[in-house]
């Protein structure tokens, strides 16, 4: 079951990463600058942000099987539509549609974790499916660059988008909801009640200062290699995947880190927060990355920063499943992802303006520091786990 969520996440990131790899070609072909590109990326993040608040509750209502299938269908069709791009405006529209569908992946996947895994296994299970994001990004540069070089950029969007339809057939054939005896039953919490809970709004706020760093690396790193280190498309295809391989290992690190703290007697919430803090410190390695003239040192430092992000993110995924039952967890993660999307959209626009008018240096430094804000918020504002869900956890 977690394997299905893993492959969906691989496809999710292949679909969104296609633009990142093709961006140097599209920017030249359609005469777009860094500000135009930041607006295209922000159109994706705007839709992603708005739909997270809808897709989470919708998946909780429809159930994991139906909800996940509808999200995959929508974003796969949207990916294929990129074949018809004629400029910045149409590219922004299709990215908006893609963001609408892709917003459902993490609420649905974290719901799979909540349905199928007990407390101490959730961080590792989250790490397994979340590693699909980094695997998708690892595979994307060489595969998509090869497709573009041999068949053109339209073929890349068409062939990658078609993968979602293959997954959809497998999902509908295989996935089932666990029997009632395998689950701890809890009544779902109303959305209005969730939005008033301290944990929900503070957790959402923390995501605003973590995920933007990841969005920056995903959408801008190939363009950074081109502009600063003069990489061509073939070189990007050969080397841009390396930081994402290290980031994949960060998922496993995050999966083991907080459980290791728990085994030493630390209670669940503190263990999750400490693990996220350790990972936030690792993300500061983006600062020496931009200060080094060597592309290889820069790539290595970015790799460490990205591993820090994935480790923090899988811990947050598990943290959500700790605090809320399977009936509410997709909604909570959806709201948190709205915070991530708003933060990503805001910082992406700022990054585009700063890069256009100054350089990459202030942007890399900023994305090395803002994860520390995320960690601070978790320690000072979230408080204890919601009491109703703590009873559920003790039963589990």
* b/e 155-174 (16+ beta carbons within 10 angstroms → b): ebbbbbbebbeebbeebeee
Sign (positive/negative) of CA torsion 240, 130, 369, 17?
positive
Residue 184: the pLDDT is 47
- Rounded Cα–Cα distance for residues 76 and 74 (Å): 6
Buried b (16+ CB within 10 A) or exposed e, 89-113: eebbbbbbbbbbbbbbbbbbbbbbb
Collapsing DSSP to helix, strand or coil, 176 comes out as coil
CA distance 83 to 72: 18
* SS3 category, 219: helix
Q: Which domains does the chain have, with CATH numbers?
A: 2-174+190-395 (1.20.1250.20)
The pLDDT value given to residue 179: 55
The pLDDT assigned to 145 comes to 85
Q: What span, in angstroms and rounded, lies between the C-alpha atoms of 249 and 258?
A: 15
Token pair recorded at residue 151: 């068949």
pLDDT below 50 — which residues of the chain? Answer: 180-184, 388-396
Alpha helices, DSSP H only, in the chain?
Answer: 2-29, 34-62, 64-81, 88-102, 105-116, 122-151, 153-174, 191-195, 198-207, 211-229, 233-239, 242-263, 268-282, 286-291, 295-323, 329-357, 361-381, 387-395
Among candidate residues 17, 86, 356, 373, the one with its CA nearest the CA of residue 212 = 373
CA quadruple 147, 153, 156, 159: dihedral sign: negative
Q: Given this model, what pLDDT does residue 170 score?
A: 94
């Amino acid at each position: 079951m977690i394997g299905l969520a893993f492959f969906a996440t691989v496809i999710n990131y292949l679909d969104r990463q296609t633009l990142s790899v093709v961006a140097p070609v599209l920017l030249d072909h359609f005469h777009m600058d860094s500000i135009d590109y930041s607006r295209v990326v922000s159109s994706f993040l705007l839709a992603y942000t708005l739909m997270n608040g809808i897709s989470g509750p919708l998946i909780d209502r429809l159930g994991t099987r139906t909800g996940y299938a509808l999200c995959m269908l929508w974003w796969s069709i949207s990916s294929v539509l990129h074949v018809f791009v004629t400029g910045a405006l149409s590219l922004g529209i299709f990215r908006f549609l893609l963001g609408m569908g892709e917003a459902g992946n993490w609420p649905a996947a974290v719901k799979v974790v909540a349905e199928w895994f007990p407390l101490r296994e959730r961080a590792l299970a989250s790490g397994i499916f979340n590693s699909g994001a980094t695997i998708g990004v690892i595979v994307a540069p060489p595969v998509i660059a090869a497709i573009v070089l041999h068949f053109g950029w339209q073929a890349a969007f068409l062939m990658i988008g078609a993968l979602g339809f293959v997954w959809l057939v497998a999902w509908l054939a295989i996935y089932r909801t666990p029997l009632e005896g395998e689950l701890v039953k809890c009544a779902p919490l109303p959305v209005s009640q969730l939005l008033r809970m301290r944990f929900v709004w503070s957790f959402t706020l923390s995501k605003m200062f973590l995920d933007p760093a990841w969005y920056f690396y995903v959408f801008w790193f190939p363009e950074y290699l081109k502009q600063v280190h003069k990489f061509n498309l073939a070189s990007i295809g050969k080397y841009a995947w390396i930081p994402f391989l290290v980031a994949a290992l960060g998922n496993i690190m995050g999966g083991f880190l907080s459980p290791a703290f728990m085994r030493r007697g630390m209670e669940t919430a503190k263990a999750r927060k400490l693990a996220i803090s350790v990972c936030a410190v690792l993300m500061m390695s983006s600062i020496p990355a931009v200060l080094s003239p060597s592309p290889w040192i820069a790539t290595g430092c970015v790799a460490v920063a990205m591993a820090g992000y994935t480790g923090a993110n899988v811990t947050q995924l598990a943290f959500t499943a700790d605090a809320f039952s399977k009936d509410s967890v997709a909604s909570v993660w959806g709201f948190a992802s709205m915070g991530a999307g708003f933060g990503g959209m805001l910082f992406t626009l700022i990054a585009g303006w700063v890069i256009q008018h100054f350089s990459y240096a202030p942007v890399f430094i900023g994305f090395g520091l803002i994860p520390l804000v995320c960690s601070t918020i978790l320690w000072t504002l979230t408080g204890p786990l919601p009491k109703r869900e703590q009873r559920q956890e003790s039963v589990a």
